[in-house]
Structure 1
């Protein structure tokens, strides 16, 4: 449950990457956003998530006809020698960072290290915004729109708040409000369940704090046999 912006895609011309990075830096500077550059060679082995569609059309035992597909998830490992360049952008403290990272072919790509020399490939990126003000969500959509219009016509964006698709601030606000209400209801429900558990187990809905045995503070053994004169020295 949340409000997330998903994006993926590629540069039509990888040679335009320096121009894109400069344009995004200027965009961030005007808004006071911190961004850091990434320029890293990735060598080793990586794991890639695979999405396989399987046709499940057919006839059931009761004679009913089924027409559809199932999606199965799998992984494959492969040797990698790639070069990642791009920007990681900090938009707001209560918002996830925006990653604009590209490989040699100009594809949006990331490699999350799992162990020395072993990575998980990231093809699809996302940023959660539900804990940030509505203006932050809109600003991230504006950033991605700037990238798409000027450098990446093939950029694909899906906005769970529907602002990217509609530009409708009211619809986004309603969705954010709905999510906040549901999360608050969930927290209240879980709190009541926890209180009920405490009441049934301990006879009270207040958490019990275990008190340990009182510790007697004593002088260390090497000091116990010293006399008064020793204490004065």
Structure 2
């Protein structure tokens, strides 16, 4: 359930990391999005490959952006090999927020050696706003049906790290 943009890939090199950071900052400033850069000496990144966990532990660096108060943070957090595997849930924000995140990814995609995008709203793949709106509506229908089936369910809940739990 939900509308989430998943992305993973590897940057070309450190110069492209610096370019990506500059582009994200420029885009964020233009959109009035809050952001901050970071570097961690040792962090665990939970990752999945072929439906199996393959977590990373070590140096990370990047930038975090908050596109909308009701979306998850948009993290560009890279490991020591400049690899990233991230996602951003957008369904509690506005459709425009989803579109702007896709626009930002298009702005930075040339900095990647490889980049895979999976957009649950299918906008990345189709550029079809009506299809995205249909997914948006279907999400809320499914959420309301789940609450009707179990009136103890509540949500959404925003966790300390900014991630959002739809219902619990």
TM-score if structure 1 supplies the norm length? 0.59
Gaps of 5+ in 2: 154-168
| Matched residue, 2:14 | 14
Match of 2:106 among 142, 145, 149: 145
Q: What is the total number of aligned residue pairs between the two structures?
A: 153
Give the TM-score normalised by structure 2: 0.80
What is the CA RMSD across the aligned residues, in angstroms? 2.5
Q: Cα 1:86–1:6, aligned 2, differ >3 Å: closer, same or farther?
A: same
How do residues 161-172 of structure 1 correspond to structure 2 at under 5 angstroms?
161-172=121-132
Q: Of the two, which has the highest radius of gyration? A: 1
In 2, distance between residues paired with 1:133 and 1:49? 27
Unaligned runs of 5+ in 1: 53-70, 109-123, 195-233
Written as runs of structure 1 = structure 2, the 5 A alignment for 1:32-51 is: 32-42=32-42, 51=49
The 1-side partners of 2:63 and 2:127 are apart by 26
1:72-103 residue CA offsets vs partner (Å, 9 max, x unmatched): x3568x8x5x4322101111111000110122
- The runs of at least 4 aligned residues of structure 1 exceeding 4 Å deviation read 46-52
